[in-house]
């Protein structure tokens, strides 16, 4: 007797059909395929996931749904806690196999572990494939003597020992197995992609960044079509104030949600490099950026309590100030430093900023000026960034706050001169802080220095319409450096004890 094979392909990240080994595993010998995405209400709160990120996700689901429909299938968007939804539907649909992309984040590992156990108990085969990273993070750790490498050099050595990553998986066939005709709860009208309003968000998205595999592949092709640019790319040389045509690829939201496969990106980059006699190299090249991503994924997946300071063995223990006013002023673009405030305004409005702009605001909040914990800043980024990616966000915040990876805490970014170097006219500030749009270039980076008459003519009085600086940068940074030195001198000699709090959920 032939047993009908009914597979669920459970999308979470990996919102694409290309390089999707879980999809290929799901359709192997399957008579029916049920592609599902589960909207977990836990995430669907504006103070957890900002509207721009949610909108990007919904765009991506809409695109995935039409690609699946074009192949005779569909995307069933279900709602609820996956641990309740999946057992219900696998009974309703007589499921024999459950496939999903492996996820290395704490919350996902916990969730997937429970679901895998329940599925196996119900006699369901579970297949989970690695496709969100170039390598299986465990293989990298194994090549580094069983520990996560904590330097880029160590990481490069480990991956050199592994050889190049697997090429992308083959494309799925033009026709996919159908969804069972009379399967309960699969009515196309009831399983569509909702709008942000339908999900209870009060505002529409304010960004131009669009989600979806189609968009991701088009952007990849467009960015890599300028081969000379790709070959010459050196991250530290980019202009962080370029906002009309950003200095980097802006592929991060697509990589975060897996609308773009990192292995496809890797392969496409290698193709460009093979055609160029000379090209930049990691860590500053474009390939080097993709490897930074991989580096942080490896460390995140293999470090206990990676997402907090306490109990995190790779994180310096620093007694940050609990200063709510400073934190709020930073988050809400009210520090009085146009460079910092404009970057945070760009974050809220568009959900993306250049890497060096992220450096500046992260340094300012933590070791540079305000001495507020990196965990607070990380949470703000996690809410507003479209590419908000737990492994990368936390790793970079630890770096910028000199809590891990990087220890030159005395090298502080100046909020007065850094942006000005790239943009003497202050076009970036005027765009994202329109209240300052009529300031003359001479004062745009330090508006409090403008004579009152200039302030009046510009229609913006400092201290009334736009804040005076929240701290004096020279004094504050000196104080912070002193405090960092003391904190470094007082590090506990032994690794801190793990703290057992439930893993935070992250979308
Ligand atoms: P490109 O320069 O075009 O790079 C291509 C890809 O490489 C990126 O899309 C990204 O996936 C990866 N990449 C580049 N730089 C880094 C890096 N430093 N670390 C890890 N991966 C990198 N990136 C995120 O994707 N999500 C985050 O939540 C995030 N939080 C950050 C927080 C702070 C404080 C800082 C300083 C950086 C953070 N980054 C984060 C890293 C980096 O700023 C972004 O990946 C990059 O700016 C995205 O733009 P892009 O796609 O144009 O990058």
Kindly report, residue by residue over 224-254, the tens digit of the pLDDT.
Answer: 999 999 999 999 999 999 999 999 999 999 9
Give residue 131 CA to ligand 1 midpoint distance, Å. Answer: 18
Best residue for ligand 1 mutational test, from 155, 230, 357, 387 (most atoms within 8 Å of Cβ): 387
Dihedrals phi, psi of 315, to nearest 5 degrees: -110, 130
Q: Environment class of residue 230 by beta-carbon count within 10 Å: exposed (0-12), middle (13-18) or buried (19+)? A: buried
Give residue 497 CA to ligand 1 midpoint distance, Å. Answer: 30
10 close to 100: Cβ distance less than 8 angstroms: yes
> What integer is the mean pLDDT of 122-130?
98
- Average pLDDT score, the chain: 96
- In this prediction, residue 1 has a pLDDT band, given cuts at 50, 70 and 90, of low
Give residue 292 CA to ligand 1 midpoint distance, Å. Answer: 8
Give residue 437 CA to ligand 1 midpoint distance, Å. Answer: 29
Question: Is the pLDDT reported for residue 148 higher than 60?
Answer: yes
Structure tokens at 196: 């942000």
Dihedrals phi, psi of 277, to nearest 5 degrees: -65, -45
> What integer is the mean pLDDT of 419-444?
98
- In this prediction, residue 499 has a pLDDT band, given cuts at 50, 70 and 90, of very low
Q: What is the pTM of this model?
A: 0.96
**Ligand 1 atom 52: the closest Cα is on which residue?**
250
Give residue 448 CA to ligand 1 midpoint distance, Å. Answer: 33
**CA separation (Å) from 444 to 242, 316, 419, 421?**
17, 37, 11, 13
Output the DSSP codes for 366-429.
IIITT-B-HHHHHHHHHHH-TT--HHHHHHHHHHHTTSSS---TT----TTTHHHHH-TT-HHH
Structure tokens at 476: 């504050």
Question: Is the pLDDT reported for residue 500 higher than 80?
Answer: no
Q: Which residues does ligand 1 sit against, CB inside 6 Å?
A: 235, 248-252, 255-256, 289-290, 292-293, 296, 354-355, 358-359, 362, 381, 385, 387-389, 392-393, 396-397, 400
**Ligand 1 atom 18: the closest Cα is on which residue?**
292
Question: Is the pLDDT reported for residue 323 higher than 50?
Answer: yes
**Ligand 1 atom 43: the closest Cα is on which residue?**
355
Please report the pLDDT score of residue 495 as a whole number.
46
Give residue 389 CA to ligand 1 midpoint distance, Å. Answer: 9
The per-residue pLDDT for range 260-314, each reduced to its tens digit, is: 999 999 999 999 999 999 999 999 999 999 999 999 999 999 999 999 999 999 9
Structure tokens at 172: 């799925």
**CA separation (Å) from 458 to 235, 444, 452?**
36, 11, 10
What is the largest distance, in Å, between two alpha-carbon atoms of the chain?
Answer: 90
- Cα separation, 300 vs 223, in Å, equals 29
Please report the pLDDT score of residue 504 as a whole number.
53
- Cα separation, 219 vs 208, in Å, equals 13
Which candidate, 329, 257, 314, places its Cα nearest to that of 11?
Answer: 257
Please report the pLDDT score of residue 43 as a whole number.
87
């Amino acid at each position: 007797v032939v047993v009908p094979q009914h597979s669920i392909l459970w999308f979470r990240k990996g919102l694409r059909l290309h390089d999707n080994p879980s999809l290929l595993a799901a359709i192997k010998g399957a008579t029916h395929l049920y592609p599902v995405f589960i909207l977990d209400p836990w995430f669907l709160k504006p103070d957890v996931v900002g509207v721009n990120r949610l909108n990007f996700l919904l765009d991506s689901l809409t695109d995935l749904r039409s690609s699946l429909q074009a192949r005779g299938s569909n995307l069933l968007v279900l709602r609820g806690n996956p641990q309740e939804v999946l057992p219900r539907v696998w009974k309703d649909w007589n499921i024999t196999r459950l496939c999903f992309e492996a996820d290395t984040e704490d919350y996902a590992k916990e969730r997937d572990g429970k679901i895998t156990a329940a599925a196996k108990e119900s006699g369901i085969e579970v297949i989970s494939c690695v496709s969100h990273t170039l390598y299986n993070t465990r293989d990298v750790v194994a090549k580094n003597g069983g520990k996560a490498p904590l330097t880029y050099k160590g990481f490069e050595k480990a991956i050199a020992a592994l050889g190049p990553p697997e090429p992308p998986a083959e494309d799925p066939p033009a026709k996919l197995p159908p969804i069972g005709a009379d399967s309960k709860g699969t009515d196309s009208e009831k399983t569509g992609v909702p709008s942000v309003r339908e999900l209870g968000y009060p505002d529409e998205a304010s960004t131009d960044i669009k989600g979806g595999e189609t968009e991701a592949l088009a952007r990849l092709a467009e960015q890599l079509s300028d081969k000379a640019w790709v070959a010459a790319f050196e991250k530290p040389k980019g202009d962080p104030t370029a906002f009309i045509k950003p200095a980097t690829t802006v592929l991060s939201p697509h990589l975060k949600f897996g609308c773009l496969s990192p292995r496809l990106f890797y392969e496409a980059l290698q193709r460009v490099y093979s055609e160029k006699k000379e090209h930049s190299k990691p860590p500053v090249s474009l390939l080097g950026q993709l490897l930074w991503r991989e580096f942080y994924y490896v460390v995140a997946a293999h470090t206990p309590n990676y997402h907090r300071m306490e109990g995190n063995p790779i994180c310096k223990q620093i007694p940050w100030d609990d200063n709510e006013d400073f934190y709020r002023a930073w988050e809400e673009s009210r520090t009085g430093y146009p460079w910092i405030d404009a970057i945070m305004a760009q974050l809220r409005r568009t959900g993306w900023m250049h890497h060096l702009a992220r450096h500046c605001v992260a340094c300012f909040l933590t070791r540079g000026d305000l001495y507020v914990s990196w965990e607070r800043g990380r949470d703000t980024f996690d809410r507003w960034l479209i590419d908000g990616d737990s492994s990368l966000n936390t790793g970079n915040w630890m770096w910028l706050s000199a809590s891990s990876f990087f220890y030159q805490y005395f090298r502080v970014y100046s909020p007065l001169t850094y942006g000005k170097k790239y943009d003497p006219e202050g076009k970036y500030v005027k765009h994202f802080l329109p209240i300052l749009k009529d300031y003359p270039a001479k004062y745009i980076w330090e508006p409090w220095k403008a004579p009152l008459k200039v302030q009046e003519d510009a229609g913006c009085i400092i201290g009334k319409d736009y804040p005076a600086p929240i701290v004096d940068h020279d004094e504050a940074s000196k104080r912070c450096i002193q405090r960092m030195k003391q904190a470094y001198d007082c590090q506990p000699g032994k690794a801190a004890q793990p703290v057992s709090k439930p893993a935070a959920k992250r979308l």
